[in-house]
Amino acid sequence: MTDETVTTPPEETRKPDLPPPITAAGPIAWMRDNLFSSPLNIVLTLISVYLIYKVVPPVLQWAIFDATWTFPPEVVTGDRPPSISDCAPGGACWLFVRARLGQFMFGFYPDPERWRVILSFALGAIGIYGLLGGPAPLKRHFAIFFFVAFPILSFWLLRGGLGLTPVPTELWGGFMLTLVIALVGIVLSLPIGILLALGRRSKLPIVQLVCVIVIEVVRGVPLITVMFMANIMLPLFLPPGMDVNVLLRVLVGTTLFVSAYMAEVVRGGLQAIPKGQFEGAMAMGLGYWSMMRLIILPQALRISIPGIVNTFIGFFKDTTLVSMVGLYDFLNMVKAGYKDANWVGVEISGYAFCAIVYWICCFSMSRYSMYLERKLHTGHKKR
Amino acid sequence: MAEISAGPSGHSAAIVWWRDERKRALLWQVLVVAGVIAAIWFIASNTIENLRTLGVPLGLDFLDFPAGFAISFSLIPTDLDSSIGRLIVAGILNTLLATAICVVLSTFIGFLVGVLRLSGNYLISRLATVYVEAVRNVPLLVQLLFWYVAIVKFFPNVRQSISLNDMVFLSNRGIYAPRPVPQDDFSIVLVALAVGIAIAFGIRRWAKRRQEATGKQFPIGLSALGAILLLPILVSVLLGNPVEWELPALQGFNFQGGIVLQPELATLVIGLSIYTAAFIAEIVRGGILAISHGQTEAAYALGLRPSRTLRLVIVPQALRIIVPPLTSQYLNIAKNTTLAGAIAYPDIFSIIGTSLNQTGRAVENIAIMMGFFLLLSLIISWFMNWYNRRIALVER
């Protein structure tokens, strides 16, 4: 390995390489480049350090170190119910969450029947996984499962009857109700949204007009007014004596609302399909519905998957509004907990727990949507 | 073979009518019209029937009834005897007020955070990312309820309120600030302000013409600001301050006088602005990232300083990408103000809700509310489309 050129000294006399100057590499150089490169940057760095110092330690102190995590012994032995006085003042009261977790998750759903809820959501999870990330040849089966078999099965599981103990919808609540509303919204709104989008892109002027009016009116008003309207007006719209329960009314309202947004997402996907695809399909002699079903929609829907997931995330957050028409979803269940005389003054911990749960759900969904976007970016995305 | 080459006239006669595209289109449309008419007839007849059984009349006469309920905050004077119509107008004004404040505030925060997220400063860009990801993944209603509890519970009560120089008071009853009371000579100050603005426009025109003729630049912004601010201040000092400030003062259980930002409105403004700003920040970031780096390099090659590059090259191009999604965020703000109902701010939604409970007039009340929101959406999108056209790329 000895070098024979004249310019380099022989191995034994050669000194080891000096490390690069600390101003060019290493943490100090990194800080110089990224934190202190200009006067403005120095100011910004100082402001951020101050903000972090002011916010992070108190929040950690409140949420972790000063928080109460375990029940006192007399509560564990069952001598008295837990209450706010078991929690240290000045810290988060996670006892409230621990004591009522079952209710937050399942509402008033009877204890021995809760496996049915878990089973039906597991089925839903399998369906969603199969549709979005599952093996391609099975997608059609998964679609039929998710849009036809799953709703019927889970309706039977949740509602009961035919051998299972019936559980009236008044007992549904908590996170389970949130998921029911969100899943019904997505399962129903996708087909309706596709029809509305096709109608809006249709060449038939009256069909187009009707679809545009429905989409724009629904998108022009807030969700809460749509829900309010479904809650109050639906009984008026139906023949006398026909009673619809509150959950069903809310589901009608929310489905209508998400469908309008879904229609716009799908329309975006339809617009991204090159005209040649339509012309090619027509040249093959396909009629309108065969062309849409076999050629256009499979491509358009694939492009719109990230948009559909984003709409779903938005809608998942919006399900909290059902608490304003009196349904006990996750948020409202937590809120109802404060009304208990044992837990007066626990609001901040309760809302923090709510926020954390919603954050985990929405953040993971948005990451998944980003991953799908990258995966589906296959080159022929747009002309 | 002979049948196929029979020509267009024979062609249409040869196929069955339901395979003729034009006839099929007509059939579809007739079916849709029939379906819509049937649905409307079904709904209308049922509603009329149901309203008759309930004994509720249909009409807008209820707007003149005395409301019998008071609202905690209003821009126009209202009391228990005010008519329902007047309270609805007050609610509309409250919604518009909250929307306007939130639009301004969230645009400001959103642009700031969006630019900071692109900053080369590692810490500040990470902080901006954390803010955006934390805020936009939690439902707005949870955030509003959280802020409401935080403000009402953690701000001190009136007697221990935090005061800034005995002029601004923060307490759980809201934020109190001095109110300007114009005196007799105040109109002269307003005239001075108008003159100042006119001078500023004059300076701008003159400076532009001079730059086009000679290439010399003139500090337009600074001199215009000077003209607009200095002239009125000078005039008001000469007149001996024609504005008096009414200070809020503690009387009994609450402050009297001054301007008040109620805790409900404060919660709504803080919560909604922080929430929407996260979305606006992402839009701004996306818009700026979409401008190719070549634009920046070309501007540097022409000798423009970074600040001018941003102002003259990047922002005008990015705005074209930013404005359409920004429009839908503004529409979302207007629609999301309805969540104020959950924190007892008397916006249009909660007033309509109360009025509906009092009068039982479901159809009319909901029609008024929906009509208002449709009109508001229409106006906002019309305005933003006008702005979008104005900044759009002018091509040959």
Cα distances from A163 to residues A152, A159, A360, B124, B199, in angstroms, run 15, 11, 36, 60, 85
Q: Report the Cα–Cα distance between both ends of chain A, in Å, rounded.
A: 57
Q: Are A318 and A253 in contact (CB under 8 A)?
A: no
Task: Scan residues 86-125 of A and list those with Cβ closer than 8 Å to B.
Answer: none
Beta-sheet strand order (sheet of B162-164): B162-164, B168-171, B174-177, B259-261
Q: pLDDT tens digits for B101-125?
A: 999 999 999 999 998 898 878 888 8
- Asked if residue B335 is part of any domain, the answer here is yes
Q: In whole angstroms, what is the distance from residue A270 CA to residue A300 CA?
A: 5
For residue B60, the 8-state DSSP code is: S
For residue B361, report the phi and psi dihedrals to the nearest 5 degrees.
-85, 80
Q: Is residue B252 part of a domain?
A: no
What whole-number distance in Å separates Cα of residue B337 and Cα of residue B293? Answer: 39
Confidence of residue B241 (pLDDT cuts 50, 70, 90): low
Task: Count the Cβ atoms, other than its own, within 10 Å of residue A293.
Answer: 12
Q: Are residues B226 and B98 in the same domain?
A: no
Higher pLDDT, B167 or A45: A45
Q: Quick one: B38 exposed, middle or buried, by C-beta within 10 A (0-12, 13-18, 19+)?
A: exposed
ipTM of predicted assembly, 2 dp: 0.85
Q: Which structural domain range is residue B123 located in? A: 84-168+262-391
Q: Would you say residue B8 has pLDDT above 60? A: no
- CATH class of the domain defined by A94-109+167-376: mainly alpha
* Crossing angle for the helix pair A223-237 and A246-271, to the nearest 10 degrees: 120
Count CB neighbours of B345 within 10 A.
28
**B116 and B205 in one domain?**
no
Look at A236 and B150 and tell me if their CB atoms are within 8 Å.
no
Chain A residues whose beta carbon lies within 8 Å of the beta carbon of residue B335: 221-223
Q: For residue B7, what pLDDT is reported?
A: 45
Stretches where chain A sits below pLDDT 50 are 1, 380-383
pLDDT for res B394: 66
Interface of B with A in 303-342 (CB under 8 A): 331, 335-336, 338-339, 341-342
* Most confident of the ranges A357-361, B62-66, B290-294, B320-324: A357-361
The reply to whether residue A352 touches residue B146, judged by beta carbons under 8 angstroms, is: yes
The tokens describing B334, both together, are 């207007």
- The pLDDT assigned to B395 comes to 60
Please check whether residues B114 and B220 belong to one and the same domain. Answer: no
Q: Which of B43, B49, B125, B145 to mutate to test the interface with A (most CBs of A within 10 A)?
A: B145
Examine the domain organization and report whether B45 and B106 are in the same domain.
Answer: no
Q: Which residues in chain B have Cβ-Cβ distances shorter than 8 Å to A52?
A: 123, 127
Residue B272 Cα distances to A343, B327, B332, B344, angstroms:
28, 16, 10, 15
Instruction: Please answer yes or no on whether A206 and B122 come within 8 Å at the CB atom.
Output: no
Same domain, B367 and B277: yes
| Distance in Å, alpha carbon of A160 to nearest chain B alpha carbon | 31
User: How many CA atoms lie within 13 Å of B352's alpha carbon, on the beta-carbon side?
Assistant: 27
Tell me if B358 sits within 8 A of B69, measured CB to CB: yes
Residue type, B67: A
C-alpha pair distances (Å), B342 with each of A52, B206, B309, B320, B355: 32, 54, 45, 36, 16
Number of domains in chain B: 3
Say whether both B164 and B98 belong to one domain: yes
How wide is the angle at C-alpha A187 spanned by C-alphas A181 and A188, nearest 5°? 90
Q: Do B373 and A222 touch (CB under 8 A)?
A: yes
Cα–Cα distance between B250 and B246 in angstroms, integer?
A: 13
Give the pLDDT confidence score for residue A8 in this predicted structure: 60
Residue A206, min C-alpha distance to chain B (Å): 6
- Asked whether residue B242 carries a pLDDT value surpassing 70, the answer given is no
d(CA B116, CA B129): 9
Chain B positions in Cβ-Cβ contact with residue A324 (cut-off 8 Å) = 141, 339, 341-342
In DSSP notation, A83-100 reads -GGGSPTTS-BHHHHHHH
DSSP at B66 = B
Q: What are phi and psi of A7, to 5 degrees?
A: -65, -35
Residue B131 lies in a domain: yes
The C-alpha of B102 sits at a distance from chain A's nearest C-alpha, in angstroms, of 16
- Mark whether B387 and B295 lie in a shared domain: yes
Our measurement of the distance from residue A11's CA atom to the centroid of its chain's CA atoms, rounded to an integer in Å, reads 63
CATH number at residue B149: 1.10.3720.10
Domain ranges of chain A: 23-64, 94-109+167-376, 112-166
Residue B10, Cβ density class (10 Å: 0-12 exposed, 13-18 middle, ≥19 buried):
exposed
| Main-chain phi, psi angles of B246, to 5 degrees | -90, 115
Instruction: Give me the residues paired with residue B249 across strands.
Output: B256
pLDDT score, position A4: 52
Residues of A364-375 as b/e, b for ≥16 C-beta within 10 angstroms? ebbebbeebeee
Provide the pLDDT for residue A378. Answer: 59
CA angle B180-B185-B188, nearest 5°? 100
Which residue in the block uniquely carries the two structure tokens 């630019």? B115
Distance CA B168, CA A291 (A): 67
Are B232 and B195 within 8 A, CB to CB?
no
End-to-end CA distance of chain B: 53
Q: Where are the alpha helices (DSSP H) in chain B?
A: 8-14, 21-54, 84-117, 122-136, 140-154, 186-214, 220-238, 263-290, 293-301, 306-308, 315-336, 348-359, 362-391
Cβ distance B366 to A225 less than 8 Å, yes or no, reads: yes
- Yes or no, beta carbons of B335 and A206 under 8 Å apart: no
Q: Can you give the pLDDT at residue B73?
A: 77
Give A 311-330 residues with CB within 8 A of chain B. Answer: 317-318, 320-321, 323-324
> Are B141 and B289 in a shared domain?
yes
Statement to judge: residues B184 and B41 lie in one domain: no
- CB–CB contact B36 A210 (8 Å): yes
Mean pLDDT of the B154-162 span:
74
What is the DSSP code (8-state) at residue B303?
T
Residues 176-215 of A with CB under 8 A from B: 203-207, 210
Structure tokens at B24: 């099929």
Q: What is the residue-averaged pLDDT of chain B?
A: 83
CA distance A56 to B192: 49
pLDDT at residue A381, rounded to an integer: 44
- A165 at interface of B, judged by CB pairs closer than 8 A: no
Question: How buried is A8 (Cβ within 10 angstroms: 0-12 exposed, 13-18 middle, 19+ buried)?
Answer: exposed
DSSP state of B181: E
Contacts of A243 (CB under 8 A, 6+ apart): A235
Q: Which amino acid is at A304?
A: S
Residues B292 and B387 in one domain: yes
Cβ separation A47–B124 shorter than 8 A = yes
Question: What pTM does this model have?
Answer: 0.83
Which of A205, A207, A359 faces B137 most closely, judged by CB atoms? A359
A236 close to B (CB below 8 A): yes
Both tokens of A56, joined, read 């992070």
Q: Both B386 and B281 in a single domain?
A: yes
Q: What local confidence, expressed as pLDDT, does residue A160 receive?
A: 81
Mean pLDDT of B337-359: 86
3-state secondary structure of A355: helix
Q: Nearest by CB to A224, from B127, B149, B338: name it.
A: B338
Q: In 3-state terms, what secondary structure has residue B229?
A: helix
Bridge partners, residue B177, by sequence:
B259
β-partners of residue A164 are A161
List the beta bridge partners of residue B181: B244
Cβ-based neighbour number of residue B57 at 10 Å: 12
The partner residues of B250 in beta bridges, in order of sequence, read B255
Mind giving me the DSSP string for B145-159? HHHHHHHHHHS--GG
- My answer on whether B137 and B286 are in the same domain is yes
